[in-house]
Structure 1
Amino acid sequence: MSERAGEVPSRQELLSRAALTVFRLNGQFLAVADELAEPGGLTAARWQVLGAVLPEPLPVAGIARAMGITRQSVQRIADLLVEQGLAEYAENPAHRRAKLLRVTGAGRDAVSRIDPAHAEFAARLAGELGAEGFAEAVGALERLSGAVGALTAAQAYGPGAGAGAGSGAGAAPAPAPAPASGAEPGHRPSPSGA
């Protein structure tokens, strides 16, 4: 990615830089989330799925959609959480075959043990970026995610798709979900904001 002083990067360069930065950030957040989840006896992936059902029980497919990970990944993690007694399956009045996953008291206790370190890391990150800078960074990431989601939902990527969507040599492919690290696929930091 050659960027000379004062030269505006091309759209392809910006896409490549955005993708690489998000992949690196994903890895950084996974490492932080795994460390933060330790006091609760959880992994980042288990914390993520438990966090999704803290407000209300959800079907596995709903958790996967909300988090942008595969249903199969969520199913494996949900089954492990149920085995550990941190979550349980409940009847779903809206769909007979798609049971709801709901957190148990033990699951709530596990997540609550993560809160002090989570709050402390959030304060340190806000101190590093400044409160306004932190909010701006989160807003930019949310807008980027929304834009990529809109384009991929409309399948507006690939050769010949959309105006200026070039596919020249050296261009990075359109960002795909970053591969998960660790034993449990689909890791991402906690939905509670790790």
Structure 2
Amino acid sequence: MRNSKRTPAGDALTDLILDLFRLNSRMLAAGDRLVAELGLTSARWQILGAIITAERPQPVAWLARDLGANRQNVQRIVNDLHEEGLVAFETNPHHRRAQLVILTDKGRQAFDASMRLQTPWINNLSDGLLLKDIKTVHQVITALQKKLEGNDESEEQS
């Protein structure tokens, strides 16, 4: 086994990734608290958002791909949302078994209510942060996502 050392950038990125793991946990907990009164969780809210932002109705597998999430986990949450009347299923003309997930009026209302709660929360959270710093972090995260997605594709082809 080679005894290799991380580059300074590798060390810094390791520290950033560990901080992102901690931040993700705190963001999910904060999101859960924020939308709890609406009967939502961060995961449910995130899936409702993915449905809304999609250009057209999508099957669960596509929603999972867009979220970078496990299809089985997304399916379980979509099923819960369906039981509560927040989403419905529509026939997919391109695939008999992969139904399309659509938002119901109740789902749209829940998402809109969550976004009304999110606005003052996010404005408060961003207070004191520089816009240019936020944009730089966003660029770094986007670049890392693209690199990881490229690695995922090359591993699948192997």
After TM superposition, the score normalised by the length of structure 1 is: 0.70
Which letter maps to 1:113? Answer: A
The answer to whether the aligner puts 1:57 opposite 2:57 as a matched pair is yes
- Asked which structure has the greater RCO (Cα within 8 Å, sep 6+), the reply is 1
The answer to whether the aligner puts 1:131 opposite 2:112 as a matched pair is no
In structure 2, what is the Cα distance between the partners aligned to 1:149 and 1:10?
23
Q: Which runs of 5+ in 1 are unaligned?
A: 1-7, 156-194
Which letter maps to 2:40? Answer: L
Which letter maps to 2:45? Answer: W
Q: What is the root-mean-square deviation of aligned Cα atoms in Å? A: 2.0
The answer to whether the aligner puts 1:18 opposite 2:50 as a matched pair is no
Equivalence for 1:173? none
Equivalence for 1:94? 94
Percent same amino acid at aligned positions?
34
How far the C-alpha of 1:11 sits from its partner, in A, is: 4.8
In structure 1, what is the Cα distance between the partners aligned to 2:44 and 2:152?
27
User: 1:54-113: CA deviations, max 9, x gaps?
Assistant: 143210000111111111001100110000000011101121110001110000111111
Alignment of 1:26-175 (within 5 A): 26-55=24-53, 56-155=56-155
After TM superposition, the score normalised by the length of structure 2 is: 0.84
Which letter maps to 1:29? Answer: M
Equivalence for 1:192? none
Q: Which runs of 5+ in 2 are unaligned?
A: 1-5
Equivalence for 2:3? none
More helix by share: 2
How far the C-alpha of 1:12 sits from its partner, in A, is: 4.2
Contact 1:37–1:114, Cα closer than 8 Å, also in 2:
yes
Which letter maps to 2:61? Answer: A
In structure 1, what is the Cα distance between the partners aligned to 2:37 and 2:113?
6
Aligned residues: 149
In structure 1, what is the Cα distance between the partners aligned to 2:27 and 2:74?
19
Q: Secondary structure at the match of 2:85?
A: coil
Which letter maps to 1:88? Answer: A
In structure 2, what is the Cα distance between the partners aligned to 1:138 and 1:12?
19
In structure 1, what is the Cα distance between the partners aligned to 2:31 and 2:69?
17
Moved more, 13-22 or 36-45: 13-22
How far the C-alpha of 1:127 sits from its partner, in A, is: 1.9
How far the C-alpha of 1:9 sits from its partner, in A, is: 5.4
In structure 1, what is the Cα distance between the partners aligned to 2:121 and 2:11?
32
Structure 1 stretches of at least 4 aligned residues deviating more than 3 Å after TM superposition: 8-12
Q: Secondary structure at the match of 1:129?
A: coil
In structure 1, what is the Cα distance between the partners aligned to 2:125 and 2:153?
32
